[in-house]
Chains A and B, each alone.
Chain A
Amino acid sequence: MKVNNIFKKYRFAYLLILPSIISLVAIQVIPSIQGLYISMLRLNQFTFKDFLRAPFVGLKNYYTILFDPNSMIRVGLLGALRNSAIFTVVVISGTIVVGMGLAMVLNQKFKGRGVARTLLLLPWIVPTYIVGLLASFMYGYDGIINRILFNTLHLLPHPIYWKVGPMTLLSIILITIWRFFPMTMLMYLAALQGISKDYYEAAEIDGASGFQKFRYITLPFLKPVTAMMVLYGMIQHIYSFNIAAMMFGMGSGYPGKWGDLLMTNLMRNSFSLWQYGPGGAASVVLMVMVLALVGMWLKIFKDAITAE
């Protein structure tokens, strides 16, 4: 009776969200639960034909990817996890530092400010898979980057192998920061324009230095945006796939462990090597890790978000 009343009262509201709920349940909720189930199956090229009847192995897949010292999948995943961790941290800090710095310059008045702003937003319009494709050209051994740094500017003793070996991760990081800083810059610019000039004038009268003004006025005001950018960056870059996949070929042809990120590793394990079970288990573990990270994020930025 009571439930009925509530439904009657808000019938319009429920009707409006109904289509979204249906699509949400069908494509997000049900597959996620199924994913949990698949992570406990021995699902490979032999049992794939009828996946509902694949042998149930319980937590064996989790054991394989977490503890089994002889498992190649586990070794690959650990490498990918390390790469993704470095990648995510450096890309988030990089986009924040570059974005904030450029936003502060653009916040001043100068000739050509509009032009500079538009030009700096340009990387945003290039689809990320195109960025990966372009980067794989530019980073080649006789690509334009080596030619400029070695032949023209003589900054290097010899050309660098950007796409093989230890420089691989750095090359993905640099091009990813290039692609994603414009958004950060725009957000900081919007926030900077909301700070009243009075604060800076008052600080100037009190004899504050430029750095002090930045440290005690600008930075606290930008904290909510920083919080959002860290969260957005975590979701975006832990699950980063397109740029690395296009730079090194989809699923195969990765230069060993270099430059293999979590998503490229999981896609390769699942769809090229037929390891759906361990792939699913790794996805579940990854989700738990991301949830923990978001929990930490909530703790660190709590005051910044609630102040909004």
Chain B
Amino acid sequence: MNYRLKKKLKRYASLAVLWLVVGIVVFPIIYMVVLAGSYSNSIRTGTEFSTVSLSRYIKNFIDMQKNVDFMNYFKNSVIVISSTTIISLVLSILSGYSLARFKFPGSNGFGLTMLATQLIPPTLILIPMYLVFITIQRTFGVQVIDTYMGLIIPYVAIFTPMSIWVIRGFFANLPVELEEAARIDGCSRFQAFRLIMLPLAVPGIIATGIFIFLTAWDELMLASILTTSPRVQTIPVGIRLFIGRIQNRFDLTMMAALVTTIPVAILFFALQKYFVQGMTAGAVKG
């Protein structure tokens, strides 16, 4: 009886601690949501929780648009990141399948080189890339810096290696017999890949796609150097305008932050099953 009571108490205590931790963890996000719908003045005086209201959210959103054309940066981010995700996904599906199915001379080297690129400091690539882009512009008159292409190409190259490894794991788990059967029935190699393997790998492809999207949506360093005008600048670069230009409008800055987080949240909750599955599968298989 005593032993049972002790165990029960211990259990309740640990649950209480857990919910306390959950509260602390969630608090910054709640705070961000509250700030986005509050008055700038009440944030300064510490009464932000009492002034938050629905009409204030709408007002802040409109004010944000008036002060800084935030939706422009949002649009640029969507264009750059979705192009990156699609191109990078195609590349990594092809390479991931190739690595999972065939053991060819150089396959190990290719795989290791891709992993090694993850160890290169971003600044080591960024400095030459910036200089080369500027040189191209000067010698050939082709603008690379400050275009969508000038951001999408480096993004694709940088985010592909990791996704190849994630997607390779998914293909490696699919039964090879299905593909062989299709080949016997007269499919070409590419047909067998496209008609049999690709549909089976859809959960893995979705997981990898979210993975690329989230990483690219979060990219600040390259974007801050390779874009210079609002025409193509993405959210992380544009959001700094709120700090410089309208220093005291905390509410508008947090409204922009909220708008930036919402697409990620939607994607995460809609596809959580695939995402979680993909992340854990990738890690446990190394």
User: Which A residues are within 8 Å of any B CB, using their own CB?
Assistant: 6, 9-10, 12-14, 16-17, 19-21, 23-24, 26-32, 34-35, 38, 51-52, 102, 105, 110, 116, 119-130, 133-135, 137-138, 142, 144, 147, 178, 183, 186-187, 190-191, 194, 224-225, 228-229, 232, 235, 239, 241-242, 245-246, 249-250, 262-263, 266-267, 270-271, 276, 279-280, 282-284, 286-287, 290-291, 294, 305, 308
Interface string of B21-50 (1 = CB under 8 A from A): 110011011011001000000001010000
Point out the residues of chain B lying under 8 angstroms from A290, CB to CB. 119, 121
User: Residue on B with the closest CB to A98?
Assistant: B21
Report yes or no: A35 in contact with B127, Cβ–Cβ below 8 A. Answer: yes
Report yes or no: A308 in contact with B131, Cβ–Cβ below 8 A. Answer: no
Point out the residues of chain B lying under 8 angstroms from A262, CB to CB. 121
CA distance A290 to B124 in the complex (A): 13
CA distance A267 to B257 in the complex (A): 24
Report yes or no: B105 in contact with A116, Cβ–Cβ below 8 A. Answer: no
Task: Provide 11 A-B residue pairs closer than 8 Å at the C-beta atoms, listed in order of the A residue.
Answer: A19-B91, A23-B160, A28-B161, A52-B135, A125-B261, A125-B264, A194-B284, A242-B218, A250-B224, A276-B127, A280-B124
Most buried by A among B25, B260, B264, B276: B25
Most buried by A among B18, B31, B32, B102: B18
Kindly state whether residue B164 has any CB partner on chain A within 8 Å: yes
User: Residue on B with the closest CB to A27?
Assistant: B157
A184 to chain B, nearest CB (A): 10
Report yes or no: B104 in contact with A279, Cβ–Cβ below 8 A. Answer: no
Contact status of A267 and B221, CB under 8 A, knowing A120-B22, A308-B286: yes
Report yes or no: B18 in contact with A187, Cβ–Cβ below 8 A. Answer: no
Stretch at the interface among B59-67, B106-114, B141-149, B174-182: B106-114
Point out the residues of chain B lying under 8 angstroms from A187, CB to CB. 279-280, 283-284
Partner of B127, one of A138, A183, A190, A280: A280
Report yes or no: A17 in contact with B110, Cβ–Cβ below 8 A. Answer: yes
Report yes or no: A20 in contact with B91, Cβ–Cβ below 8 A. Answer: yes
Partner of A137, one of B35, B118, B286: B35
Kindly state whether residue B285 has any CB partner on chain A within 8 Å: yes
Report yes or no: B286 in contact with A51, Cβ–Cβ below 8 A. Answer: no
CA distance A18 to B209 in the complex (A): 20
Report yes or no: A186 in contact with B276, Cβ–Cβ below 8 A. Answer: yes
A-B residue pair count with CB separations less than 8 angstroms? 241
CA distance A125 to B25 in the complex (A): 13
User: Residue on B with the closest CB to A19?
Assistant: B91
Partner of A287, one of B15, B120, B221, B285: B120
Point out the residues of chain B lying under 8 angstroms from A232, CB to CB. 283
User: Residue on A with the closest CB to B218?
Assistant: A127
Report yes or no: B124 in contact with A283, Cβ–Cβ below 8 A. Answer: yes
Kindly state whether residue B58 has any CB partner on chain A within 8 Å: no
Interface string of B185-223 (1 = CB under 8 A from A): 000011000000000000000000000000001101100
Most buried by B among A9, A142, A144, A279: A144
Contact status of A279 and B99, CB under 8 A, knowing A126-B261, A242-B218: no
B22 to chain A, nearest CB (A): 5
Partner of B283, one of A228, A235, A266: A228
CA distance A259 to B273 in the complex (A): 37
Kindly state whether residue B132 has any CB partner on chain A within 8 Å: yes
Report yes or no: B156 in contact with A271, Cβ–Cβ below 8 A. Answer: no
CA distance A207 to B44 in the complex (A): 58
CA distance A190 to B253 in the complex (A): 37
Most buried by A among B26, B46, B123, B224: B123
CA distance A102 to B110 in the complex (A): 38
Report yes or no: A102 in contact with B18, Cβ–Cβ below 8 A. Answer: yes
Partner of B279, one of A126, A134, A186, A305: A186
CA distance A164 to B268 in the complex (A): 35
Report yes or no: A51 in contact with B28, Cβ–Cβ below 8 A. Answer: no
Contact status of A10 and B119, CB under 8 A, knowing A116-B18, A308-B286: no
Report yes or no: A228 in contact with B286, Cβ–Cβ below 8 A. Answer: yes
CA distance A27 to B120 in the complex (A): 12
B44-96 with Cβ < 8 A to chain A: 44, 46, 90-92, 94-95
CA distance A7 to B133 in the complex (A): 34
Kindly state whether residue B265 has any CB partner on chain A within 8 Å: yes
Point out the residues of chain A lying under 8 angstroms from B257, CB to CB. 130, 133-134
CA distance A297 to B255 in the complex (A): 42
CA distance A13 to B106 in the complex (A): 11
Kindly state whether residue B166 has any CB partner on chain A within 8 Å: no
Point out the residues of chain A lying under 8 angstroms from B129, CB to CB. 27, 31
Most buried by A among B121, B221, B285: B121
B195 to chain A, nearest CB (A): 15
Report yes or no: B123 in contact with A267, Cβ–Cβ below 8 A. Answer: yes
List 16 additional contacts besides A122-B26, A130-B257, A263-B221; criterion CB under 8 Å: A9-B104, A19-B95, A24-B160, A28-B117, A35-B124, A123-B25, A125-B268, A178-B28, A190-B283, A242-B220, A245-B221, A263-B121, A266-B123, A280-B128, A283-B124, A305-B286
